[in-house]
Chain A
Amino acid sequence: MSRTPLDTVEHAAATPDVELPWAELGLKKDEYERVVEILGRRPTGAELAMYSVMWSEHCSYKSSKVHLRQFGEKAPESDAMLVGIGENAGVVDVGQGYAVTFKVESHNHPSYVEPYQGAATGVGGIVRDIIAMGARPVAVVDPLRFGAADHPDTKRVLPGVVAGIGGYGNCLGLPNIGGEVVFDACYQGNPLVNAGAIGVMRHEDIHLAKASGAGNKVILYGARTGGDGIGGASILASETFDDAKPSKRPAVQVGDPFQEKLLIECTLEAFQEKLVVGIQDLGAAGLSCATSELASNGSGGMRVTLDDVPLRDSTLSPEEILMSESQERMCAVVEPEKVDRFLEICEKWDVIATVIGEVTDGDRLEIYWHGGKIVDVDPRTVAHEGPVYERPYARPSWQDTLQADDANKLPRPVTSEELKDQVLKLVGSPNQASKSWITSQYDHFVQGNTVLAQPEDSGMIRIDEESGLGVAIATDGNGRYAKLDPYHGAQLALAEAYRNVATTGAKPLAVSDCLNFGSPEDPAVMWQFAEAVRGLADACQQLGTPVTGGNVSLYNQTGEAAIHPTPVVAVLGVIDDVARRTPVAFQEEGQLLYLLGDTREEFGGSAWSQVVHDHLGGLPPQVDLERERLLAEILISASRDGMIDSAHDLSDGGLIQAVVESALLGGKGARLIVPDGLDAFTFLFSESAGRAVVAVPRSEEVRFNDMCGARGLPATRIGVVDGDAVDVQGEFALSLAELRETHEATIPALLA
């Protein structure tokens, strides 16, 4: 009986002509040839497995890297930045010795294939990134995009995604404080499930993903390794969907939030006792990623015995073990004399922990299996020196036609009756309707520090009980704007998130982004991507908010149809005392409503053009970042000095949407007067950027006006908080009861 010999390094060198399945693993011919060139021989099966996953689009950013460099090159000076791009997540100084880490990531492809597990493991992955920095996770946010609200498949995908996020996040004890839910037919075959998380630590507790110190032990801890998620990064997340190919369901990982909760507590306890030299979570590309990144970021090499990896399935091959994306696993580098204590803590939390290798004083990553050496590589070539593509890009020929199809020329409501009907249609449309059916499936109270949660403009968490120091986070993105103009669309996403943070009274500090686009192999998509990155980098520079990290999700495309370019931007802010926060809800009758900023006739990409005319064309609203900065400063000062009691940013749906939301949340109506120089329609529906509505107590009116006047911010008195209707004087009045019914019935009727 003969056995297939183990494909060791030695064997590979002796059998140069053996054909390996590089194409099936997602590598291109020239990429495979590059691997052979690096190694000076053909790779072993295990080496091929590692290179194929680590050089996938998802892990290597090979199509996006040349553009993403701008985030570093154009990074504004910022005292707040402690750890920048390249680590598991960026870290920002928020004062009083605290540091905050945050990041947004995508789990788009798996969530379409298997909504519950795809979304659940998306939460799990981002939370492990946060723990890996040394922080205790304190909140999550979920920006979501689905196909048309009334499409039958949305009813399959959305409830599964929401249940998955809730099922996993609730079980971890992390309050879900923000995010978005957007419907658009362009996401029908490619829903976007982005997940963000925030963690808090003291400055001295920051940990990095690196293995240094020869002789230090490499400990794998958490769940056993199984056959799930093999090819998740290389096959699933790095290709377009195509009906002809077999189901990719087995490539989706399966999550166990209970295991992750134990992992969080056990890791934090190990940090507290200063037992950890370096740490990395196992996400995409599993052990391949963790070992090669830890080794290449450290000072030495690493030797790993794969036989010691605890398995869920004893029949797994070494290639499968290296590629498995089984969830809830982490890898720590620990000094030999601290290993016992580390293992003790793991045992306390019933977490399996195994020493699988050690740091060496060489510069190679060597992996052994059954006594044979099956991997011998320079870890940098796996983790950091993957292919880099200068993909061709070209402004699509249809862009001019699209921009020429001016939304400002669409028929507008003529009578007051028409205006009123369109207001009702807007506030009851799926994108503008209340999302409480969704958000009530998430725990937003746990940990007892939630100051604001959705539907507020930004989520806010108290991080110090004594001083009241807090952080705020908002995520925004508007694919419709970005489709019309990717450069300005990306800037508008940043502007909105920045504004949302300031509206609650927090000072915007830093940015994380999740860039969701179609196939990079399409020059039109690549142009959208290049423009969006350029726009975002320019705007971050101007607003002084550096990008600390993020994620790129490409191939969000079914056949020829790509999604709208959808850069989702998260802005993190800080507030010295959460007692000064400003909520969206109207607080007291009699307070005066002021509209801050300039209102122009801007309807391109607007909610109105979508809801009333099913139209997308023209140009998105103008971007004025200096105005955004001024508006933010005014909002923050007004919050701090008690000049405003409620505030709401104006974005999709315009002023009327904002006023209706503030009224319904506060249970108090408003009387509005159309200001001079504006027609009622533009006043209510325009989506001009750089605006907010605030409620000013009468006693503060003079002081507030003086401040706006002195700083040069247009502030127009537009009405008063009053009654139980939204009454646009001279036009129409809608009772809060009718508005509530319209606003709240839509989503349950479609999805419950």
Chain B
Amino acid sequence: MTARIGVVTFPGSLDDRDTQRAIRVAGAEPVALWHKDKDLKQVDAVVLCGGFSYGDYLRAGAIARFSPVMEPLLEQAKAGLPVLGICNGFQILTEAHLLPGTMLRNDHLHFICRDQKLRVENAETSWTTDYAAGQEISIPLKNNDGQYVADAYTLDKLEAEGRVAFRYLVHGEAADGYGNPNGSQRDIAGVSNEAGNVVGLMPHPEHAVEPLIGTGRTDGLPFFTSILKKLVNA
């Protein structure tokens, strides 16, 4: 028996099929969830994928956060259900207050798509145990509103509790994927909740799971193998 991992499709979700593929590549079973679903079909974990849910109207993630599926998701996430938010999914998780902080428009005011260098700061969350702490990885980043901001108290708290899960690597050539791509405070690329079951990040691990495709690297695959191991061994 393998783990069943749900992927929610909101109107305007774009990476739902890619995320399902990544889950399959890792060896788990993807389960399609629809934003109007009132239950989570007994999945073992959920991924909120990237895209422009509701066209990013009002504010990225602000409308999707009120979708029916978010009710059981909120309840179960607080009870320990592993949830990963990628890009727009991360934005939805902050709008839903499952994760602290918020995302503003990129400081350079352009959409940016590139292969991005990151450091895994916390390899103990539900989604990162197949990485080593401090490991440097390279996965695609693509967003318009990726500038992570929070008040200083929150940022200090996140740092102190080890909840900054990923940081952009800034020392190196831009052409090689280094640099803070959007003006995020303290170069934060992703964070987790206190329990470590809810993780959000702007870059896209689901686009880095197969050689040949995209950047040709598979640095994103451990997200999905981490959760699979956790669920199967549980």
Residues of A within 8 A of B (CB): 163, 166-167, 170-173, 256-259, 261-262, 349-350, 439-451, 462, 465, 578-579, 581, 740, 744
CB atoms of A170 and B110 under 8 A apart: no
Q: Which 3 A-B pairs have the closest CB atoms?
A: A258-B55, A173-B14, A448-B18
6 contacts between A and B (CB under 8 A): A170-B52, A170-B142, A258-B57, A445-B113, A445-B142, A447-B17
Closest to B181 in A: A440
CB atoms of B113 and A449 under 8 A apart: no
Q: In whole angstroms, how far apart are the Cα atoms of A465 and B212 in the complex?
A: 12
Q: Is B204 an interface residue (CB 8 A)?
A: yes
With A448-B213, A450-B214 given, name 4 new contacts (CB 8 A). Answer: A173-B14, A258-B57, A441-B110, A448-B15
CB atoms of B113 and A440 under 8 A apart: yes
What mask results when residues 197 to 234 of chain B are scored 1 for a CB within 8 Å of chain A, else 0? 00000001011001011110000000000000000000
Q: Is B79 an interface residue (CB 8 A)?
A: no
Q: Is B146 an interface residue (CB 8 A)?
A: no
Chain B residues closer than 8 Å to A440, beta-carbon distance? 112-114
Q: Is B78 an interface residue (CB 8 A)?
A: no
- Give B15-39 interface residues, CB cut-off 8 Å to A: 15, 17-18, 21-22
CB atoms of A173 and B15 under 8 A apart: yes
CB atoms of B214 and A445 under 8 A apart: yes
Main secondary structure of the interface of A (DSSP, over half): mixed
Task: Identify A441's interface contact among B11, B54, B111, CB under 8 A.
Answer: B111
Q: In whole angstroms, how far apart are the Cα atoms of A450 and B216 in the complex?
A: 10
Q: In whole angstroms, how far apart are the Cα atoms of A262 and B156 in the complex?
A: 41
Q: In whole angstroms, how far apart are the Cα atoms of A188 and B8 in the complex?
A: 46
CB atoms of A258 and B54 under 8 A apart: yes
Chain B residues closer than 8 Å to A451, beta-carbon distance? 212-213
Chain B residues closer than 8 Å to A166, beta-carbon distance? 111
Report the minimal beta-carbon distance from B183 to chain A, rounded to whole angstroms. 15
Closest to B15 in A: A446
CB atoms of B206 and A448 under 8 A apart: yes
Task: Identify A350's interface contact among B11, B17, B51, B213, CB under 8 A.
Answer: B11
Chain B residues closer than 8 Å to A441, beta-carbon distance? 110-113
Given contacts A166-B111, A445-B204, A740-B175, contact A579 B212 (CB under 8 A): yes
Given contacts A257-B52, A740-B175, contact A444 B113 (CB under 8 A): yes
Q: Is B134 an interface residue (CB 8 A)?
A: no
Q: Is B12 an interface residue (CB 8 A)?
A: yes
CB atoms of A448 and B17 under 8 A apart: yes
Q: In whole angstroms, how far apart are the Cα atoms of A445 and B57 in the complex?
A: 23
What mask results when residues 87 to 119 of chain B are scored 1 for a CB within 8 Å of chain A, else 0? 000000000000000000000001111100000
Chain B residues closer than 8 Å to A444, beta-carbon distance? 113
Report the minimal beta-carbon distance from A579 to chain B, rounded to whole angstroms. 6
CB atoms of A446 and B57 under 8 A apart: no
CB atoms of A446 and B14 under 8 A apart: yes
Q: In whole angstroms, how far apart are the Cα atoms of A579 and B55 in the complex?
A: 35
CB atoms of B52 and A171 under 8 A apart: yes
Which of B50, B110, B144, B206: most chain A CB closer than 10 A?
A: B110
Chain A residues closer than 8 Å to B21, beta-carbon distance? 448, 465
Report the minimal beta-carbon distance from A129 to chain B, rounded to whole angstroms. 21
CB atoms of B111 and A170 under 8 A apart: yes
Which of A167, A172, A349, A447: most chain B CB closer than 10 A?
A: A447
Q: In whole angstroms, how far apart are the Cα atoms of A173 and B10 in the complex?
A: 13
Chain B residues closer than 8 Å to A170, beta-carbon distance? 52, 111, 113, 142, 144
Residues of B within 8 A of A (CB): 11-12, 14-15, 17-18, 21-22, 50-52, 54-57, 110-114, 140, 142, 144, 175, 204, 206-207, 210, 212-215
Report the minimal beta-carbon distance from A217 to chain B, rounded to whole angstroms. 25
Q: In whole angstroms, how far apart are the Cα atoms of A349 and B21 in the complex?
A: 23
Chain B residues closer than 8 Å to A259, beta-carbon distance? 55
Q: In whole angstroms, how far apart are the Cα atoms of A34 and B226 in the complex?
A: 72
CB atoms of A449 and B175 under 8 A apart: no
Q: In whole angstroms, how far apart are the Cα atoms of A171 and B110 in the complex?
A: 14
Q: In whole angstroms, how far apart are the Cα atoms of A170 and B210 in the complex?
A: 22
Chain A residues closer than 8 Å to B52, beta-carbon distance? 170-171, 257-258, 261
Closest to A166 in B: B111
Chain B residues closer than 8 Å to A465, beta-carbon distance? 21
Chain B residues closer than 8 Å to A442, beta-carbon distance? 111, 113
Q: In whole angstroms, how far apart are the Cα atoms of A697 and B50 in the complex?
A: 40
Task: Identify B11's interface contact among A172, A256, A258, A439, CB under 8 A.
Answer: A258
Closest to A444 in B: B113
CB atoms of B111 and A450 under 8 A apart: no
Task: Identify A262's interface contact among B11, B57, B215, CB under 8 A.
Answer: B11
CB atoms of B111 and A167 under 8 A apart: yes
Report the minimal beta-carbon distance from A735 to chain B, rounded to whole angstroms. 14
Report the minimal beta-carbon distance from B50 to chain A, rounded to whole angstroms. 8
Report the minimal beta-carbon distance from B204 to chain A, rounded to whole angstroms. 7
Report the minimal beta-carbon distance from A465 to chain B, rounded to whole angstroms. 8
Closest to B19 in A: A448
Chain B residues closer than 8 Å to A449, beta-carbon distance? 213
Report the minimal beta-carbon distance from B187 to chain A, rounded to whole angstroms. 19
Chain B residues closer than 8 Å to A443, beta-carbon distance? 111, 113, 142
Q: In whole angstroms, how far apart are the Cα atoms of A167 and B142 in the complex?
A: 12
Report the minimal beta-carbon distance from B107 to chain A, rounded to whole angstroms. 13
CB atoms of B111 and A447 under 8 A apart: no
Given contacts A258-B57, A447-B18, A740-B175, contact A171 B207 (CB under 8 A): no
Chain A residues closer than 8 Å to B18, beta-carbon distance? 446-448
CB atoms of A257 and B55 under 8 A apart: yes
Chain A residues closer than 8 Å to B110, beta-carbon distance? 163, 441
Task: Identify B12's interface contact among A258, A445, A447, A740, CB under 8 A.
Answer: A258
Which of A170, A350, A443: most chain B CB closer than 10 A?
A: A443
Which of B11, B22, B57, B210: most chain A CB closer than 10 A?
A: B11
Q: In whole angstroms, how far apart are the Cα atoms of A744 and B174 in the complex?
A: 11
Report the minimal beta-carbon distance from A135 to chain B, rounded to whole angstroms. 16
Closest to A167 in B: B111
Chain B residues closer than 8 Å to A447, beta-carbon distance? 17-18
Closest to A258 in B: B55
Q: In whole angstroms, how far apart are the Cα atoms of A744 and B176 in the complex?
A: 13
Chain B residues closer than 8 Å to A172, beta-carbon distance? 14
Closest to B20 in A: A448
Chain B residues closer than 8 Å to A256, beta-carbon distance? 55
Chain B residues closer than 8 Å to A446, beta-carbon distance? 14-15, 18, 50, 142, 207
Q: In whole angstroms, how far apart are the Cα atoms of A172 and B111 in the complex?
A: 14
Q: In whole angstroms, how far apart are the Cα atoms of A592 and B55 in the complex?
A: 50
Report the minimal beta-carbon distance from A188 to chain B, rounded to whole angstroms. 24
Chain A residues closer than 8 Å to B22, beta-carbon distance? 448
Chain B residues closer than 8 Å to A579, beta-carbon distance? 212
Q: In whole angstroms, how far apart are the Cα atoms of A540 and B186 in the complex?
A: 56
Q: In whole angstroms, how far apart are the Cα atoms of A258 and B213 in the complex?
A: 26
Q: In whole angstroms, how far apart are the Cα atoms of A170 and B18 in the complex?
A: 15
Chain A residues closer than 8 Å to B140, beta-carbon distance? 445
Given contacts A262-B11, A441-B110, A451-B212, contact A171 B175 (CB under 8 A): no
Task: Identify A171's interface contact among B12, B15, B114, CB under 8 A.
Answer: B12
Task: Identify B175's interface contact among A257, A262, A744, CB under 8 A.
Answer: A744
Q: In whole angstroms, how far apart are the Cα atoms of A409 and B113 in the complex?
A: 44
Chain B residues closer than 8 Å to A439, beta-carbon distance? 113
Closest to A740 in B: B175
Chain B residues closer than 8 Å to A350, beta-carbon distance? 11
Task: Identify A349's interface contact among B11, B17, B114, CB under 8 A.
Answer: B11
Report the minimal beta-carbon distance from A254 to chain B, rounded to whole angstroms. 13
Q: In whole angstroms, how far apart are the Cα atoms of A581 and B56 in the complex?
A: 36
Closest to B112 in A: A440
CB atoms of B11 and A448 under 8 A apart: no
Report the minimal beta-carbon distance from B215 to chain A, rounded to whole angstroms. 8
Report the minimal beta-carbon distance from B193 to chain A, rounded to whole angstroms. 27
Closest to B139 in A: A445
Chain B residues closer than 8 Å to A349, beta-carbon distance? 11
Report the minimal beta-carbon distance from A428 to chain B, rounded to whole angstroms. 15
Q: In whole angstroms, how far apart are the Cα atoms of A447 and B50 in the complex?
A: 11
Chain B residues closer than 8 Å to A167, beta-carbon distance? 111
Q: In whole angstroms, how far apart are the Cα atoms of A581 and B111 in the complex?
A: 29
Closest to B110 in A: A441
